């Protein structure tokens, strides 16, 4: 496990601001028991907070950045030595765009604020990987800023999108409809959409109980 050095812990101000609204929706959308695979856990603050609030679930945080993994494990050690969560597993290195994930089964997949600050290939990899690890009916939950119904949800998100694309042309606020189309092609239903504070959205997809790709092959 990573060092418990307090300097290893990263702090994301947005995580503190949005954790309670996200948690309220997770209480509705997540199963009561099982393992939640979090993709791109970042600082680890969300994982610790959600695991503490949802003791019936085990949280598996992941990230592709070694510094983030160190931060996640530092937050985890603090939670275990205090009154926090003990249902939080050590961070795993996982690149959503890579085909072979280090986790082969999960009861839910959660991804917060990743798809707009990663290439589109990472979003497609997230959908592909989630489809591989989730059983039928299980949720894939996304949170962040999105382009929806042909427009940005706020002028600030439009400006944010422009800033992202200026920093890296492969980044950018994604269209809900484009994500939904890609999810459908990979065996998901949905999304259910929940409007959140600060002009963000939460999207709920579910692994199809009957994979339409398999159905189409049978019908053909």
pLDDT of residue 209: 81
Q: What is the pTM of this model?
A: 0.90
Whether residue 2 is predicted with pLDDT greater than 50 in this model: the reply is no
Q: What is the dihedral of CA 36, 206, 203, 164, to 10 degrees?
A: 80
Whether residue 206 is predicted with pLDDT greater than 60 in this model: the reply is yes
Q: How many domains does the chain have?
A: 1
* Residue 1 within any structural domain of the chain: no
Tokens 């979090």 correspond to 38
Written as six digits, the tokens of 28 are 């509705």
Cα separation, 75 vs 73, whole angstroms: 5
Tens of pLDDT, residues 154-193 = 999 999 999 999 999 999 999 999 999 999 999 999 999 9
Cβ–Cβ < 8 Å for 64, 96: yes
Q: Which CATH number fits the domain that encloses residue 54?
A: 3.40.50.150
* Residue 44 within any structural domain of the chain: yes
Whether residue 75 is predicted with pLDDT greater than 60 in this model: the reply is yes
State how beta strands 139-144 and 200-207 pair: antiparallel
State which residues form the domain around 133: 6-219
* Residue 148 within any structural domain of the chain: yes
* Residue 141 within any structural domain of the chain: yes
């Amino acid at each position: 496990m990573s060092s418990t050095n307090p300097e290893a812990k990263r702090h994301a101000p947005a995580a503190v601001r949005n954790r309670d609204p996200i948690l309220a929706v997770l209480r509705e959308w997540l199963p009561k028991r099982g393992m939640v695979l979090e993709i791109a856990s970042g600082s680890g603050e969300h994982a610790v907070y959600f695991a503490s609030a949802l003791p019936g679930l085990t949280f598996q945080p992941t990230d592709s950045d070694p510094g983030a993994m160190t931060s996640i494990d530092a937050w985890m050690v603090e939670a275990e030595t205090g009154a926090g969560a003990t249902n939080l597993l050590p961070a795993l290195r996982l690149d959503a765009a890579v085909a072979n994930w280090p986790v082969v089964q999960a009861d839910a997949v959660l991804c917060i604020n990743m798809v707009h600050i990663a290439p589109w290939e990472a979003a497609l990899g997230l959908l592909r990987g989630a489809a591989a690890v989730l059983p039928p009916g299980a949720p894939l939950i996304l949170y962040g800023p999105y382009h929806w119904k042909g427009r940005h949800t706020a002028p600030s998100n439009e400006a944010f999108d422009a800033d992202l694309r200026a920093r890296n042309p492969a980044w950018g606020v994604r269209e809900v409809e484009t994500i939904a189309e890609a999810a459908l092609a990979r065996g998901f239903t949905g999304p259910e959409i929940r409007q959140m504070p600060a002009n963000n959205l939460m999207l709920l997809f579910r692994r199809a109980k009957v994979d339409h790709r398999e159905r189409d092959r049978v019908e053909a």
